[in-house]
């Protein structure tokens, strides 16, 4: 299933993602939120290069049409790729970023990690290299479907219908699972980094803060918390080492926002927000008005557990459990539609079986077997 955004062309947030330094999304000394980078915050440069100049510094493969953005870390151009015969987005580092060793290192790491992954729900890097003047550049697919942040703003009550939200979460989690399979921690999962192609397929983007599970954190300065505050895991808030489970916490916050239309923690003050991430339980989610079933609330609460070891450990596990829960819910709905009401494990049937000396576990197995048989029978009859 895809999620097209009508009348939305090149997303300003997508342009900003291409332009900004991976270090822009971070919290410094904790005194203010620094995550709200936007296209309006772009700096002016007196030495901006034009499309003609950049064309001269690239191979004939790329025909640069126009500059579509500028920022503190780079310029972004729309150009035509003669080899793939499609329009692409080209990012070139600014002179300042090129002369900053840390910016170049982060830029190169982002390219390396992204190129190592081939998945329909992860942004695709087409090419990278250096210009004739030795300036690094990267060519990415041009995503023109807007981003999840924009989708939520346009959606009624800023919410996505529940079934569509689950399908979207499955695609997003599968993209993150592709990172986790490579041992890569994203560290900055948020709506602005989920961008859609023109067909509405969600893509995980911005690996600028990503780290390998086997890598030290020498690029992270002591006392520096990296991430986007509203979506940071408790361990990120405390500037502690992170793991794949840190992404799961951020994914749970994202999931909450998609189905409820707002973030679970909305404090503007950094210290209050940090306290909420570290200590406050996830607000109630299973409300009738939102059409959210109780099983989803339990699922999200586990994903957003404060202790990393209490969460799902990888995005693959997150996705697998979500798929199973959705299948179980659909099966129950089909049974009810056929006039066969679901009997819960602590209901009359299981109580009867346990009273006859059959354990809770075995009674549950009997019940599941009965449901499976009935479901198969219904399918055969249909």
Does position 87 have pLDDT exceeding 90, yes or no? yes
pLDDT, tens digit (0-9, with 9 covering 90-100), for 273-328:
999 999 998 888 766 556 788 899 999 999 999 999 999 999 999 999 999 998 88
Most confident of 186-190, 338-342, 370-374: 186-190
pLDDT > 50? residue 236: yes
**Residue, of 43 and 271, whose pLDDT is higher:** 271
Does the predicted TM-score (pTM) go above 0.85? no
Measured at the CA of 71, the angle between CA 106 and CA 109, to 5 degrees, comes to 10
- The CA distance from 23 to 31, in Å, is 17
**What H or E segment, with its residue span, contains residue 88?**
strand 86-93
Average pLDDT, the chain: 78
Asked if 277 and 237 count as a contact pair (C-beta separation under 8 A), the reply is yes
Q: How high is the pLDDT of residue 21?
A: 41
Q: What is the pLDDT of residues 356-373, one digit of tens each?
A: 555 555 555 656 666 666
Mean local confidence (pLDDT), 94-110: 84
Which runs of E-coded beta strand occur in 218-327? Answer: 225-226
Per-residue confidence (pLDDT) for residue 374, from 0 to 100: 64
Mean pLDDT, residues 330-356? 58
pLDDT of residue 35: 36
Single out the residue of 192, 81, 99, 102 nearest to residue 147, CA to CA.
Answer: 192
Report percent pLDDT > 70 for the chain.
68
Q: How far apart are CA 97 and CA 45, in angstroms?
A: 12
- Residues carrying an active site annotation: 188
pLDDT tens digit string along 135-165? 888 899 998 888 899 899 988 877 888 999 9
* Tokens read off for 149: 């942040």
* Cα atoms in the 13 Å half-sphere on the side-chain side of 274: 17
Q: Looking at mean pLDDT, say which of 217-221, 234-238, 325-329 comes out highest.
A: 234-238
> If 0-12 CB within 10 Å is exposed, 13-18 middle and 19+ buried, where does residue 344 land?
exposed
Q: What is the mean pLDDT of residues 234-261?
A: 94
Per-residue pLDDT tens for 19-32? 444 334 554 444 33
Least confident residue range of 118-132, 174-188, 223-237? 223-237
pLDDT of residue 34: 36
Query: Which pLDDT score is estimated for 171?
Result: 97
Q: Is residue 189 a contact partner of residue 207, using CB atoms and an 8 Å limit? A: no
> What are the respective helix, strand and coil percentages of the chain, to the nearest 5?
45, 15, 40
pLDDT reported for residue 131: 84
pLDDT at res. 286 = 61
The percentage of residues in the chain with a pLDDT greater than 90, rounded to a whole number, is 37
The lowest-confidence range among 33-42, 151-160, 184-193, 310-319 is 33-42
């Amino acid at each position: 299933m895809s999620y097209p955004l009508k009348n939305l062309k090149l997303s300003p947030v997508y342009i900003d993602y291409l332009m900004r330094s991976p270090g822009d999304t971070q919290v410094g000394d904790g005194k203010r939120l620094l995550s709200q980078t936007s296209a309006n915050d772009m700096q002016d440069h007196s030495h901006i290069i034009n499309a003609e100049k950049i064309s001269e510094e690239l191979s004939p493969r790329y025909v640069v049409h126009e500059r579509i953005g500028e920022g503190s870390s780079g310029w972004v151009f729309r150009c035509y790729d003669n080899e793939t015969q499609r329009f692409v987005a080209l990012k070139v580092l600014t002179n300042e970023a090129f002369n900053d060793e840390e910016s170049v290192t982060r830029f190169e790491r982002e390219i390396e990690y992204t190129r190592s992954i081939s998945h329909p729900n992860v942004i695709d890097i087409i090419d990278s290299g250096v210009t004739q003047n030795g300036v690094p550049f990267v060519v990415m697919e041009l995503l023109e479907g807007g981003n999840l942040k924009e989708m939520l703003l346009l959606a009624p009550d800023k919410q996505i219908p529940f079934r569509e939200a689950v399908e979207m979460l499955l695609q997003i989690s599968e993209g993150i699972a592709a990172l986790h399979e490579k041992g890569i921690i994203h560290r900055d999962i948020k709506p602005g980094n989920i961008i859609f192609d023109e067909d509405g397929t969600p893509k995980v983007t911005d690996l600028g803060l990503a780290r390998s599970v086997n890598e030290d954190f020498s690029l992270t300065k002591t006392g520096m918390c990296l991430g986007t505050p509203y979506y940071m895991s408790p361990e990120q808030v405390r500037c502690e080492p992170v793991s794949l489970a840190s992404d799961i916490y951020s994914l749970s916050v994202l999931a909450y926002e998609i189905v409820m239309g707002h973030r679970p923690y909305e404090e503007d003050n950094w210290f209050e927000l940090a306290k909420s991430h570290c200590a406050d339980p996830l607000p109630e989610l299973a409300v009738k008005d939102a059409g959210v079933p109780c099983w989803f609330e339990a699922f999200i609460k586990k994903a957003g557990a404060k202790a990393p070891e209490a969460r799902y450990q990888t995005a693959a596990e997150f996705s697998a459990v979500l798929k199973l829960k959705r299948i179980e819910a659909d099966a129950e709905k089909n049974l009810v539609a056929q006039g066969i009401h679901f009997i819960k494990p602590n209901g009359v049937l299981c109580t009867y079986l346990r009273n006859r000396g059959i354990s809770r576990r075995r009674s549950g197995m009997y019940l599941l077997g009965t449901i499976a048989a009935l479901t198969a029978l219904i399918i055969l009859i249909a």
